[in-house]
Chain A
Amino acid sequence: MIDPAQILIDAVSVGGLYALTALGIGLIFSVMRLANFAHAELVTVAAYMLFAFSGSPVAVAILVAIAAAVLLALATERIAFRPLRGADSATLLISSFAVSMFLQKLLVFLVGSRPKALDPLPALSRTVSIGSLQVSALKLVTIVVCLTLLAALTAFLKWTRFGLQMRASAENFTMSRLLGVRANAVIAIAFGLSGLLAAVVAVLFAAQSGFVQPRFGVQIVIIAFVATVIGGLGNLFGAAVGGFFVGVVTILLQAFLPAELRPFREAFLFVIVIAILLFRPQGLFPARNLKERV
């Protein structure tokens, strides 16, 4: 017996993590056409910070994780991606692979490749009952945090000066520069925000999975990449929708696939992705002006 409300909660909590990750990737892609695979290592490094500060109060550990991910995001931008500004998308993509691999191997070198157990949010490892439903507190918090961050990001983009400049840059970067928008500032803010989102995802995902290893972030970022592509690369709304979509499909497959096929859940997920892209090669919500040049 599968309770539909239970499935919904699972789907939204998983989808929310994918959506936040997809947004972190989408923010960078929309302003500089960089599909940043190194986003995975922002998540991973934040999770290792939680591990390293697991003796400290939860709030301290989370703040350190956020600071580390934001600083790392800004550093990768400054050191690796800024010199390639304006380069071909393929060049940017490959360089983000290089950054990702470098950081991953650096982590193996520094902390080893064996998983480390951690429990960043011990207070949430219990269930709460809503009516007849037993729900994990962690899942509820995940949903609330994801929806709050989505709302905050939307408000930032809609109501603040830098948010507006970021939207303008996403539509036409050259034009926005000609209107005086500081390219470095907009891109740095995008990277900072993507670091923040990565750290939040790291906290929630580490609390769910209970351990961290050097490929911690890769698992979720690979799926989130699929979500951004389904949503339409360069479209933030599409990225969020794509994230939730992938979450829902994953949970539905988990719930309804015959038990012997469940280990191959991802294969079914990717078949669905391929089918969608066959009919909508630009994704569900194609970005405007993706190819336009002044």
Chain B
Amino acid sequence: MLRATDITVRFGGVRAIENVSMALQRTEILGLIGPNGAGKTTMVNVLSGFQQPHQGSVTLAGEKTGPLRADRLARSGVVRTFQAVRLFPGLTVSENLEVGLGSRGLGRAAARRRAAELLDYMGLAARAHMPGNALSYGEERRVGIARALALQPNFLLLDEPAAGLNIGEAEALGDLIRRIRADFGCGVLVIEHNMKLVMGLCERLHVLASGRTIAEGSPADVFRDTAFRSAYLGAEPA
């Protein structure tokens, strides 16, 4: 289990995250939702070891993760993607995956074979030897996920994977995330604004607004919650 307890993060005087706790199980798909500026990406930064919280702690399988060891967390299976995919533009698509495979201990030849398998799994086999900056937007996003899978994640943190995708592509992405959970046996945390995708995909939701937890539970429960409705959907407060 990947667990964050009583996390507070400040930027200057602004509290981006205040006293937020959440846990991600090995087999669940958790939706992290909330309005823009709610602190969702900051929370993922904390969970992935990229942002050091000012208060609170992150534990992986009960062990506290040290300060700013993003590389070690990645090797121990906590892997994230970004809103902007950030492929290495000068590396081929295959090499983009091989970087992570190398840090999981594979030599170049083995890494290349595994990268080919992963790209095949993502339906990107034909793109393996193209440069990282020559892909379409949708393809780039899938390579970003493939690159995360190369690290054999136990916990996969996806930051707005469906941003910019059309309805059909977003549905396909939902199916893909379910397949990934089944095939890789990892817990998935998804930051997502597309409510249809969230409702269909996530077993549990965690809602942030202005850096605080305002609701959590099953999608059905959360959608009935008045705090959620006023903060997120803009409904009149009851």
Q: Which residues of A contact B (CB under 8 A)?
A: 159-162, 164-165, 167-168, 171-172, 174-183, 288-289, 292, 294
Instruction: Indicate which residue in B71, B82, B102 contacts A161 across the interface (CB closer than 8 Å).
Output: B102
Is B22 in the interface zone, CB < 8 Å from A?
no
Is B151 in the interface zone, CB < 8 Å from A?
yes
Assess A181 versus B50: contact at CB under 8 Å? Given A164-B108, A288-B90: no
Number of interface residues, chain B, beta carbon within 8 A: 30
Q: Which residues of B contact A (CB under 8 A)?
A: 48, 50, 70-72, 74-75, 79-80, 82, 86, 88-91, 95-96, 98-100, 102-104, 106-108, 111, 147, 150-151
**A169: nearest chain-B partner, CB-CB:** B99
Are B50 and A161 touching (Cβ within 8 A)?
Answer: no
Are B88 and A180 touching (Cβ within 8 A)?
Answer: no
Are A175 and B151 touching (Cβ within 8 A)?
Answer: no
Are B50 and A178 touching (Cβ within 8 A)?
Answer: yes
| A–B Cβ pairs within 8 angstroms, 29 of them | A159-B108, A160-B108, A161-B106, A161-B108, A162-B102, A164-B99, A164-B102, A165-B102, A167-B90, A168-B88, A168-B91, A171-B88, A171-B91, A175-B88, A176-B88, A177-B70, A178-B48, A178-B50, A178-B74, A179-B103, A179-B150, A180-B72, A180-B104, A180-B151, A182-B71, A288-B89, A288-B90, A292-B86, A294-B82
Residues of chain B within 8 A (CB-CB) of A161 are 98, 102, 106-108, 111
Residues of chain B within 8 A (CB-CB) of A179 are 74, 99-100, 103, 147, 150-151
Are B95 and A164 touching (Cβ within 8 A)?
Answer: yes
Nearest-Cβ distance from residue B143 to partner chain A, whole angstroms: 13
Extra A-B contacts (13), CB below 8 Å, given A180-B104, A292-B86, A294-B50: A161-B108, A164-B95, A165-B99, A167-B88, A167-B91, A168-B96, A171-B91, A178-B79, A178-B80, A179-B100, A180-B103, A289-B89, A294-B86
Q: With A and B bound together, what is the CA distance between A183 and B69 in angstroms?
A: 10
Are A183 and B71 touching (Cβ within 8 A)?
Answer: yes
